[in-house]
Structure 1
Amino acid sequence: MRFATWQLPDGSTRAGVVSGPSAYGFRDGESVLDVVALGLDDALALGERTLGTSRATALTSVRLLPPLTPPSMRDFAAFEEHVLGALRSVTSRVEVPPEWYEAPAFYFTNPHALVGAHDDVPIPPGCEVFDFELEVAAIIGGRGASVSPEAAVDLVFGYTILNDWSARDVQAREMVVGLGPTKAKDSATTLGPWLVTRDEVDDRLDEDGFLTLECTVSVNGEMVGSDLLSNMAWTFPELVSHASRGTVVVAGDVLGSGTCGNGGCLSELWGLRGERSPRPLAPDDVVEMTVEKLGTIRNRVVAGAPVPPVGPARRRSNPLPRTRSDLERRR
């Protein structure tokens, strides 16, 4: 089943079920996050009731919003090929660090910067090297703490497409400090077009628990990258297990797979080729991503608003004052 959130022409927002070319709103005004919190079985039952009792609205008449507003978002780096190319492009590393193989790595990203499946995406302030990242995200369907990979299977409610838009020149500066990525990643993340429940894709699980879904991305109609989701280094339940280690995950949390290989982003190609080919994204470029069984998202890049940066750090003379008396003596 596909759950979605959309905006009607009058500006109001509804959530419900997508079936074929139509959307069917929940009768009691539930959000997709409310429905995810019910658990998969109850959510599917509510979806069936909704299809049987709600009036159809043509998808062509609405604006698709991100399917839900998650409590938190973690973005992993689960594709070795992407890690190698991106590190060569953004840092001075020429090989994947051995630490990457030891455990899944992720960072927290901004749940307040989500954009819909067909929304315009502004270039972030101060960015001259803009990039996309083709990913799939798992949505948590319950609460768990330090769960095993086996138990984490039942915590996955479903999946959606995720585009982690990236300011690569900003990221390169941030990574030197050792706290990045921060502003390089939090201006926009596309999530959509809807949330597909896991039962819809269980037939694509291979014997090791990886999803064999084809993923593609094009820019202005020209294919840039394609990969199988099953080329991940860890399964989604393993990512969930790691995310919950020593802490909790809750219903609606988003866990990104990290960027697919074989051209899942421009940065990977730049690192492997030693040049910025294809060129960075520019205004009016259209980025389209399709993941088998999950749908298609399509966003146009637009110029961003000028925003004045925070100035550089002030430089202090040594020795620094440590007490109020020190300040008094300097006057």
Structure 2
Amino acid sequence: MRFVTYASPAGDDRVGLVSGDVVLGADPGVTMVDLLDTGDLAAAAATIGTAPSETVALEGLTLRAPLQPRSLRDFVGFLQHLRNCSGPANMTVDERHERYPPFYFSNVAAVIGPHDDVPVPPGCERFDYELEVAAVIGKAGADIAPADAWDHIAGYTLLCDWSGRDLQIDEMALGLGPAKGKDSANTLGPMLVTADELEPHRHGRGFTAAMTGTVNGEAVSAGSWDDVDWGFDDMIAYASRGTRLRPGDVIGSGTVPSGCLFEHFALDPENFRGWLVPGDEVRLSVEHLGGIRHRIVEGRPVPPLSSGY
């Protein structure tokens, strides 16, 4: 099953079930998190399919993020990404990365749809994308064992963690996690694909799925989901340790190797293509999950802070 959230011709946003080249609308006011809270997406899909509120063509629909998550944890699942970035970012891959998968909490208020314009963050001069996948929690739980974690996943979607690299590096030198460097936008989309659709493609710690990215038509990123070092089973087990995951929580995989501009800058600065600027078009895709398309636009000016303490 594939679910979207879209701008209805009736004037509101609705959840829809994708059926071929059409979308079957859920009742007005129902959100994707509401459906996840039922604990049975198959039953929800059957209800929508039997009596849709409307039927609209998928082509040309304005898609929103498939859900507005309750929380968003973004992990470091691909260790080669860290190795590629390690020099300029001062992100050494040490033995702790083999003991647990680190993550940070991202900004759920900054979740955008798969085709929205993306403004450059205020004050940023090194703007970047990050090509990732995300698991959407569909079953609540705490202290989840890795062997049970897959049962807590409702489905998957593409995630782009937009990053102001100069802001991020400056902030993280203070010993804290990323703040304004990763606070402006997070793309989810174009749809939520239920976990059963991915099962035939399971391989290694992930799935056989090509992950690609282009900027202005130029191929920049090419990787595969099954290269991941920490699978979603371990990420969910770690995320739920001593706390509770809820339906609608989102777990990000971290960036696939080659899946951001920073890696290319770190590995070959002399031939670096440059950072994202207004007018650029970024296209990212993950096999089985679909693709997103964004235009980079001007950001807002930086209002000055007061001086001193």
TM-score, reference length from structure 1: 0.89
Aligned twin of 1:30: 30
Work out which of the residue numbers 108, 113, 120 in structure 2 matches 1:111.
108
Aligned twin of 1:252: 248
Gaps spanning 5+ residues in structure 2: where? none
Work out which of the residue numbers 210, 235, 246 in structure 2 matches 1:239.
235
User: 1:288 touches 1:296 (CA, 8 Å); kept in 2?
Assistant: yes
Q: How many residues matched?
A: 308
Q: Which amino acid aligns with 2:288?
A: K
Aligned twin of 1:97: 94
Moved more, 300-309 or 82-91: 82-91
User: 2:75 touches 2:102 (CA, 8 Å); kept in 1?
Assistant: yes
**Highest CA radius of gyration, 1 or 2?**
1
Give CA deviations for 1:209-261 in whole Å, capped at 9, x if unaligned: 42121111111111101111011111111110010011111101000000000
Aligned twin of 1:5: 5
Aligned twin of 2:51: 53
User: 1:6 touches 1:63 (CA, 8 Å); kept in 2?
Assistant: yes
Work out which of the residue numbers 174, 180, 187 in structure 2 matches 1:190.
187
User: How far is the alpha carbon of 1:80 from its aligned partner?
Assistant: 1.2
Aligned twin of 2:293: 298
Aligned twin of 2:212: 216
Q: Following the alignment from structure 1 to structure 2, what is the Cα–Cα distance between the partners of residues 154 and 219?
A: 36
User: 1:164 touches 1:190 (CA, 8 Å); kept in 2?
Assistant: yes
Aligned twin of 1:318: none
Q: Following the alignment from structure 2 to structure 1, what is the Cα–Cα distance between the partners of residues 29 and 69?
A: 18
**Residues 1:308 and 2:303 are matched in the alignment:** yes
User: How far is the alpha carbon of 1:61 from its aligned partner?
Assistant: 4.1
Q: Following the alignment from structure 2 to structure 1, what is the Cα–Cα distance between the partners of residues 19 and 306?
A: 51
**Residues 1:287 and 2:282 are matched in the alignment:** yes
Structure 1 residue matching 2:173: 3-state secondary structure: helix
Q: Following the alignment from structure 1 to structure 2, what is the Cα–Cα distance between the partners of residues 146 and 220?
A: 44
User: 1:9 touches 1:62 (CA, 8 Å); kept in 2?
Assistant: no
User: How far is the alpha carbon of 1:278 from its aligned partner?
Assistant: 2.0
Q: Following the alignment from structure 1 to structure 2, what is the Cα–Cα distance between the partners of residues 130 and 11?
A: 34
Structure 2 residue matching 1:259: 3-state secondary structure: coil
Structure 2 residue matching 1:65: 3-state secondary structure: coil
Aligned twin of 1:76: 75
**Residues 1:88 and 2:84 are matched in the alignment:** no
User: How far is the alpha carbon of 1:43 from its aligned partner?
Assistant: 1.1
User: How far is the alpha carbon of 1:2 from its aligned partner?
Assistant: 0.8
User: How far is the alpha carbon of 1:120 from its aligned partner?
Assistant: 0.3
User: 2:159 touches 2:189 (CA, 8 Å); kept in 1?
Assistant: yes
User: 2:101 touches 2:235 (CA, 8 Å); kept in 1?
Assistant: yes
Structure 2 residue matching 1:135: 3-state secondary structure: strand
Q: Following the alignment from structure 2 to structure 1, what is the Cα–Cα distance between the partners of residues 74 and 308?
A: 29
TM-score, reference length from structure 2: 0.95
Assess, with a 3 A threshold, how the Cα gap between structure 1 residues 21 and 77 changes in structure 2: closer, same or farther: same
Aligned twin of 2:260: 265
User: How far is the alpha carbon of 1:27 from its aligned partner?
Assistant: 3.1
Q: Following the alignment from structure 1 to structure 2, what is the Cα–Cα distance between the partners of residues 264 and 16?
A: 30
Q: Following the alignment from structure 2 to structure 1, what is the Cα–Cα distance between the partners of residues 84 and 172?
A: 15
Give CA deviations for 1:144-178 in whole Å, capped at 9, x if unaligned: 11110011110011000000000000011011001
User: How far is the alpha carbon of 1:67 from its aligned partner?
Assistant: 0.8
Moved more, 266-275 or 216-225: 266-275
User: How far is the alpha carbon of 1:58 from its aligned partner?
Assistant: 1.4
**Residues 1:122 and 2:119 are matched in the alignment:** yes
Aligned twin of 1:172: 169
User: 1:76 touches 1:107 (CA, 8 Å); kept in 2?
Assistant: yes
Work out which of the residue numbers 206, 222, 226 in structure 2 matches 1:226.
222
Give CA deviations for 1:57-81 in whole Å, capped at 9, x if unaligned: 1123431111111111000011111
Q: Following the alignment from structure 1 to structure 2, what is the Cα–Cα distance between the partners of residues 249 and 79?
A: 22
Structure 2 residue matching 1:163: 3-state secondary structure: strand
Q: Following the alignment from structure 2 to structure 1, what is the Cα–Cα distance between the partners of residues 85 and 143?
A: 30
Assess, with a 3 A threshold, how the Cα gap between structure 1 residues 98 and 290 changes in structure 2: closer, same or farther: same
User: 2:134 touches 2:252 (CA, 8 Å); kept in 1?
Assistant: yes
Assess, with a 3 A threshold, how the Cα gap between structure 1 residues 280 and 27 changes in structure 2: closer, same or farther: same
Assess, with a 3 A threshold, how the Cα gap between structure 1 residues 37 and 174 changes in structure 2: closer, same or farther: same
User: 1:130 touches 1:280 (CA, 8 Å); kept in 2?
Assistant: yes
User: How far is the alpha carbon of 1:9 from its aligned partner?
Assistant: 4.6
**Residues 1:141 and 2:159 are matched in the alignment:** no
User: How far is the alpha carbon of 1:89 from its aligned partner?
Assistant: 2.8
